[in-house]
Structure 1
Amino acid sequence: MSNAFLSIEKVNMVFGEGKKETRVLDDINLQIDKGEYVSIIGHSGCGKSTVLNIVAGLLSATSGGVILEGKEVNSPGRDRSVVFQNHSLLPWLTVYENVALAVNKAFKKTKTAKERRDWILQSLDMVGMSHALDKRPNEISGGMKQRVGIARALSLEPRVLLLDEPFGALDALTRSHLQDEVMSIQEKLNTTIIMITHDVDEAVLLSDRIVMMTNGPEATIGEILDIELPRPRNRIEMADNPLYNRYRQQVLSFLYEKQRKVEDLPSAKKTRAAESATNKEKELA
């Protein structure tokens, strides 16, 4: 058993049965250290969100499993908070009440009413939403809704924060501001973060490592790229940083050369190419 903070071990995922059976994930292995920011990137249909949902305990792997701090993950838990692309706020509750619902349920036996209120306010202050406590979701912008979603997730004091394309539906400027806030929050809290993204620049800017998935079905981890850029990171400075641009090029090369070429092959050739790639990976393992 791995000694990593979080370990994804020999995970396979099959949907359907018989002729309709599809192997979505094939032998996923990944170890993540405490406080690490890991992004998972790949083309649509490569099983990124399936991996995240297995870590969250929302799906059970067909075989293999996830170990968090020495304990097997087999159901959802407060030690793992998820932020989806859709903010999922309850429309009839205020900003404060949406976070309070989670905090009061999680800490009813361990925090006093005053401690819970202070923690709710602190969580909302962390994402810059203290000014909108009494607003309902239909009274705030998409970016503000996502801030509340992040505050609610962090308010549970999770060991792992799982982000499933959390900025995907936002405009570019709002997206940039939220990325900066997530970087700042992680620096303060040393939270372990796993993020699903399609955005190469986002992955390079935020991550300590980028996990690149091969195309599905039978998707697996193709390459893992260590991002050795100093923190804190400034997006304007990064634009002219040669190392940043080298990392960016490496991810683009994987996504749009190594993987896209397989997509463009006729079906029979595609199958042979996939088998060849799998055999080479096994030889290198």
Structure 2
Amino acid sequence: MDQSYLKIDRVFKSFSKGAKTTEVLADIRLTIDKGEFVSIIGHSGCGKSTLLNLIAGLTGVTTGAIKLEGREVNAPGPDRAVVFQNHSLLPWLSVYDNVKLAVTKVFGATKTKAERHDWIMQNLDLVQMTHAADKRPGEISGGMRQRVGIARALAMEPKILLLDEPFGALDALTRAHLQDAVMDIHARLKNTMIMITHDVDEAVLLADRIVMMTNGPAASIGEVLPVAIPRPRDRIALASQPDYVRAREAVLRFLYERHRFVEAAE
């Protein structure tokens, strides 16, 4: 019997427009363990976000199957929460009410009003945003909005947290603070996380394994690199740590030597 927590089994994904069909992903095979942090990296257009959307159930596979705890993924569900680069908070609602929407949807029938309130505050506390509970998204910074997006996703108590380049639009310092926050959340909750990134240092810092995608179209998994660096990880100490340097070099070599991105001629 297959004991995989998440299994991506021979997945192909094509998109059709009129008579033209484009194969985006080809023969994707990957298993992810419970509690694992996996980063997916590759050049633009290699299907990273498409793969994440397939796991989220936002789009369906063309052939193959994705199974979470043995059950086929074929639609969105609260067991797979997504944090996008755009925080997608509702601007007319407070921070508290944005998280409350998700909590009510998932736990409206199983938690009392008081329990739901405590759960909302607990998740805001995880991302250090209780002080801004009454503020609207427009009144807080981009980094704070992303923290709220993460709190809202975590409040659904998903089996897998899916992160689609969540820090890509942020400045370097804010990005570093949020990376540390995500590492802290992962250490505390031991939850399963899959993160799309194009940042090599981010992938090595956060992940247990790095999945490297070949160039599209018909992208596949080129290599999977285990990151043998003990946790907790300190970004300053890691900079000169041999395992960190080796992992970083391996990813760069894959991206820029074996699968160099060739710009299409104008």
1:215-266 alpha-carbon deviations (Å, 9 max, x no partner)? 0001000000000100000000001101101100000000001011x73799
- The residue number in structure 1 matching 2:156 is 156
- The residue number in structure 2 matching 1:178 is 178
- The residue number in structure 1 matching 2:239 is 239
- The residue number in structure 2 matching 1:42 is 42
TM-score, structure 1 normalization: 0.91
Structure 2 letter corresponding to 1:263: V
Of the structure 1 ranges 1-10 and 209-218, higher mean CA displacement relative to structure 2 is found in: 1-10
In the alignment, does 2:28 pair up with 1:28? yes
- The residue number in structure 2 matching 1:280 is none
Query: Percent identity at matched positions?
Result: 66
1:66-88 alpha-carbon deviations (Å, 9 max, x no partner)? 10001000100010000000000
Q: Partners in 1 of 2:101 and 2:263 — Cα distance? A: 49
Tell me the CA shift for residue 204 of structure 1.
Answer: 0.1
TM-score, structure 2 normalization: 0.97
Q: Partners in 2 of 1:19 and 1:113 — Cα distance? A: 53
* Structure 1 residue matching 2:118: 3-state secondary structure: helix
1:197-219 alpha-carbon deviations (Å, 9 max, x no partner)? 00000000000000000000010
Tell me the CA shift for residue 25 of structure 1.
Answer: 0.4
Q: Partners in 1 of 2:106 and 2:31 — Cα distance? A: 28
Aligned length: 265
Q: CA RMSD in A?
A: 1.4
In the alignment, does 2:249 pair up with 1:249? yes
- The residue number in structure 1 matching 2:106 is 106
* Structure 2 residue matching 1:263: 3-state secondary structure: coil
* Structure 1 residue matching 2:12: 3-state secondary structure: strand
Q: Partners in 2 of 1:216 and 1:6 — Cα distance? A: 24
* Structure 2 residue matching 1:16: 3-state secondary structure: strand
Bigger CA radius of gyration? 1
- The residue number in structure 2 matching 1:87 is 87
Matches within 5 A, 1:221-240: 221-240=221-240
* Structure 1 residue matching 2:262: 3-state secondary structure: helix
1:133-169 alpha-carbon deviations (Å, 9 max, x no partner)? 1100110000000000000000000000000000000
More helix by percentage: 1
Specify every segment of 5 or more residues in structure 2 that has no aligned partner in the other structure, as ranges: none
Tell me the CA shift for residue 18 of structure 1.
Answer: 6.9
1:32-54 alpha-carbon deviations (Å, 9 max, x no partner)? 00000000000000000000000
Structure 2 letter corresponding to 1:186: H
Specify every segment of 5 or more residues in structure 1 that has no aligned partner in the other structure, as ranges: 267-285
- The residue number in structure 1 matching 2:201 is 201
